[in-house]
């Protein structure tokens, strides 16, 4: 396993990390993801650690807290071998104190996560969304309190817009408060919006990408192809509307190239899609999930090898879409690369 620095921090994370969204199985959405119990989770953690996957990601909203509880059971007795990432901000109940990133909410959310996980500190604590109703200075001051108390080690954000992330970073610098070193983002071969603004921001500000749903919300499994019905066992039947939108023609074009490269390399479609992401600028770690051992081992096969330049170029071309304004005029004219890092 390759280990990378998480943004401009001293924290080393594995190139692949494990997403515990399939743990617990409570609620309509998360039960469709998976219903892994503690016994099954321990086995998945065993396999992950054997492969060098040391970072495990969850959130307080996953299965109404059951994901954290199951993960806590699965890592019991080996806390020193793992890094734990969790998130808060999204609503966990109907009350006014059950959502957001206000001081009281963040402190109670962290205490709740620590209790459910059965640990005394969180290695990476991320805000699950931007809270526009709370001043960023209050949010950062609350995180500073939690860092100083030893309850969290590093802080990050998730699903922020560029201006939201930059405003938070500027406030952190201005007041000497904890700086976000991670941004948990959606990024895949069928969802490259991250590249337009957030990737250049990450390069400039030292914020590492923690990638969620790298297989396009289950669309790059190798089971979905042009002219074929959605497989009966696909979770897309129940969850498609909750995930990122994907243009069908872009999807099919990408899958056609993935199939070609799979034949050339002897790798699976998901392994190729994951390997492409691992070559992208700012990407610190890619979160993979798994309902069972076989799926996990397949995903772990995405590391230890590399696509060649021609294969990457073909995937880039197949997955390219028109950039949004204000980027598209300069991309079309080829001028953007002259004033931005070539990696972008």
Q: What is the model's pLDDT at position 233?
A: 59
H-only helix segments in 267-337: 269-278, 293-300, 309-319, 328-333
Query: Cα-flanking dihedrals φ and ψ of residue 324, to 5°?
Result: -75, 165
Q: What is the model's pLDDT at position 344?
A: 43
Q: Under DSSP, is residue 12 helix (H, G, I), strand (E, B) or coil?
A: strand
Q: What is the model's pLDDT at position 242?
A: 57
- Among candidate residues 87, 80, 115, the one with its CA nearest the CA of residue 19: 87
294-298: which pairs have CB atoms within 8 A and are 24 or more residues apart?
Answer: 296/18, 296/44, 296/47, 296/48, 297/47, 298/268, 298/270, 298/271
Q: What is the model's pLDDT at position 237?
A: 38
Tokens representing 114 are 């620590």
Contact predicate 254/319, CB 8 Å: yes
Positions of the chain with pLDDT under 50? 237, 336, 338-339, 343-344
- Among candidate residues 115, 2, 127, the one with its CA nearest the CA of residue 54: 2
What CA–CA distance (Å, rounded) separates 236 from 241?
8
pLDDT in tens, 183-231: 999 999 999 999 999 999 999 999 999 999 999 978 899 887 776 766 6
Active site residues: 62
């Amino acid at each position: 396993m390759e280990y990378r620095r998480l943004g401009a921090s001293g924290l080393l994370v594995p190139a692949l990390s494990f997403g515990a969204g399939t743990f617990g199985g409570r609620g309509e959405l998360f039960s469709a993801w998976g219903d892994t119990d503690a016994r099954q989770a321990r086995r998945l953690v065993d396999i992950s650690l054997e492969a060098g996957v040391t970072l495990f990601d969850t959130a307080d909203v996953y299965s109404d807290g059951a994901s954290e509880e199951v993960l806590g059971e699965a890592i019991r007795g080996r806390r020193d071998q793992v890094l734990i990432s969790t998130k808060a901000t999204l609503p966990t109940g109907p009350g006014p104190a059950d959502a957001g990133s206000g001081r009281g909410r963040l402190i109670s959310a962290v205490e709740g996560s620590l209790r459910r996980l059965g640990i005394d500190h969180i290695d990476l604590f991320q805000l699950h969304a931007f809270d526009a109703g709370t001043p960023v200075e209050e949010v950062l001051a609350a995180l500073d309190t939690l860092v100083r108390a030893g309850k969290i080690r590093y802080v990050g954000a998730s699903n922020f817009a560029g201006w939201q992330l930059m405003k938070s970073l500027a406030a952190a610098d201005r007041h000497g408060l904890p700086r976000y070193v991670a941004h948990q983002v959606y990024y895949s071969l069928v969802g490259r919006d991250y590249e337009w603004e957030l990737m250049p921001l990450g390069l400039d500000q030292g914020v590492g990408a923690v990638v969620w749903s790298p297989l396009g919300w289950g669309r790059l499994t190798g089971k979905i192809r042009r002219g074929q019905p959605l497989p009966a066992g696909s979770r897309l039947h129940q969850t498609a509307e909750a995930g990122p939108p994907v243009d069908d023609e872009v999807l099919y074009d990408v899958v056609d190239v993935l199939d070609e490269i799979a034949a050339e390399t002897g790798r699976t479609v998901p392994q190729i899609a994951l390997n492409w992401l691992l070559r992208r600028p700012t990407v610190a770690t890619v979160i993979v999930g798994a309902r069972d051992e076989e799926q996990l081992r397949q995903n772990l096969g995405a590391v230890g090898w590399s696509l060649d330049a021609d294969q990457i170029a073909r995937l880039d071309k197949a997955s390219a879409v028109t950039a949004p304004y204000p980027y598209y005029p300069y991309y079309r004219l080829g001028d953007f690369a002259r004033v931005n890092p070539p990696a972008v």
